[in-house]
Amino acid sequence: MTDPGKESEGNEGALTGAPGGKRFSHAPVLLNEAIDFLAIKRGGTYVDATLGLGGHSSAIATLLGPEGRLIGFDKDTNALEMARKRLTAPEGRQQDWPEITLHHASYAEMAELVAPGSADGVLADLGVSSMQFDDASRGFSFQAEGPLDMRMNPHAELSADQVVNQFDESNLADLIYEFGEERRSRRIARAIVRARPIKSTAHLAQVVSAAARPMNQPRGKGIHPATLTFQAIRIYVNRELEDLRALLKAAPTVVKPGGRLVVISFHSLEDRMVKDAMRDGVRDEVWQPLTKKPVIATDEETAENSRARSAKLRAATRLEVRGRGRKK
């Protein structure tokens, strides 16, 4: 079994040199499992749809050799900068390092930016990175005082501020329900509209908590009452489900027969889409699933990395194309 965690030692753990001189700790989730399911071939071409801090990518890069190619995507310019640094050939390995191409783009554009049938594997580790989440100035966390931003792409037009302070009550309730699966969406939307202007993440968390905390749930029990509302706004602002739909549609075109698709998701909306796409892929003779049930992190990993707790990995192999457009 490959042990990329070991191979990329020295690149792991706390990362320094993040934009703004900030310091973030980041451990790639389900790293060994992802690498094993990708079945990395030396000399192959792999797409990391979600570079983040380059944790999975740096492990992939160490296995590709000089004939190999790694193509990475991220919407976030800060993440790209970090990943670029991390994916520079280490001292003494320049001759053995793959070609690296990084795109500041959504993985929804994969079909336009990666040649059809060229990838031996595509990895997507969905959602927000620890760098984004832990940086209060990005506005993803309800536990810190920050601006209402939540944009993964800092150049995107729509931010959480517009959603929270400008959307009408019924649109707000609908999106909190659809993307947060929050049963108390109407009550929360009403409270948000009444409390406008909402100035910060902490202010939003306080308004939502007051509206959403069930009378019989004591403080400190269960998930934070603002969790689902923050999730919903983030998913909406970043078009996360539309982008995932486009990625899942493009994957059979981009991955060559025998190649792999590996997706790590963090909430049920994402996981359902991945599961459905793989199920439809079986029907259409496009994918052969490698995971009957999603793979989850070990107790050891979740003890070390709380983000791994909700991770679910699904993987599939691209089937051969037979005859004129027929698959086998």
Ligand X SMILES: C[S@@+](CC[C@H](N)C(=O)[O-])C[C@H]1O[C@@H](n2cnc3c(N)ncnc32)[C@H](O)[C@@H]1O
Which residue, 212 or 235, is less far from ligand X as judged by CB?
235
8 Å CB contact between 288 and 297: no
**Amino acid letter, residue 115:** A
In 3-state terms the chain splits into helix, strand, coil percentages (rounded to 5) of 45, 15, 40
Minimum CB distance to ligand X, residue 121 (Å): 14
Residues at the interface with ligand X (CB under 6 A): 26, 28, 50, 52-56, 73-76, 79, 106-108, 125, 127, 129, 152, 243
Which residue, 54 or 68, is less far from ligand X as judged by CB?
54
**Amino acid letter, residue 310:** S
Minimum CB distance to ligand X, residue 204 (Å): 21
Which residue, 185 or 201, is less far from ligand X as judged by CB?
201
Q: What angle is formed at CA 247 by the lines to CA 245 and CA 248, rounded to 5 degrees?
A: 65
8 Å CB contact between 211 and 252: no
Q: How many angstroms separate the Cα of 141 from the Cα of each of 40, 67, 256? A: 35, 41, 39
Q: Are strands 24-26 and 13-15 parallel, antiparallel or unpaired?
A: antiparallel
Which residue, 120 or 189, is less far from ligand X as judged by CB?
120
Which residue, 50 or 62, is less far from ligand X as judged by CB?
50
8 Å CB contact between 37 and 288: no
Which residue, 243 or 301, is less far from ligand X as judged by CB?
243
Q: Which token pair is 18?
A: 């993040």
Which residue, 30 or 173, is less far from ligand X as judged by CB?
30
Query: Cα 319 vs. chain centroid, distance in angstroms?
Result: 25
Minimum CB distance to ligand X, residue 238 (Å): 6
Minimum CB distance to ligand X, residue 215 (Å): 36
Q: Which token pair is 104?
A: 């500041």
Q: Which residues contact 220 (CB under 8 A, 6 or more apart)?
A: none
Minimum CB distance to ligand X, residue 50 (Å): 3
Minimum CB distance to ligand X, residue 174 (Å): 22
Minimum CB distance to ligand X, residue 180 (Å): 18
Length of the chain: 328
Peptide bond into 252 cis (omega under 30): no
Q: How many angstroms separate the Cα of 231 from the Cα of each of 106, 141, 187, 235, 240? A: 19, 10, 17, 6, 11
8 Å CB contact between 203 and 144: no
Which residue, 195 or 264, is less far from ligand X as judged by CB?
264
For ligand X, the nearest residue by Cβ is 52
Minimum CB distance to ligand X, residue 98 (Å): 17
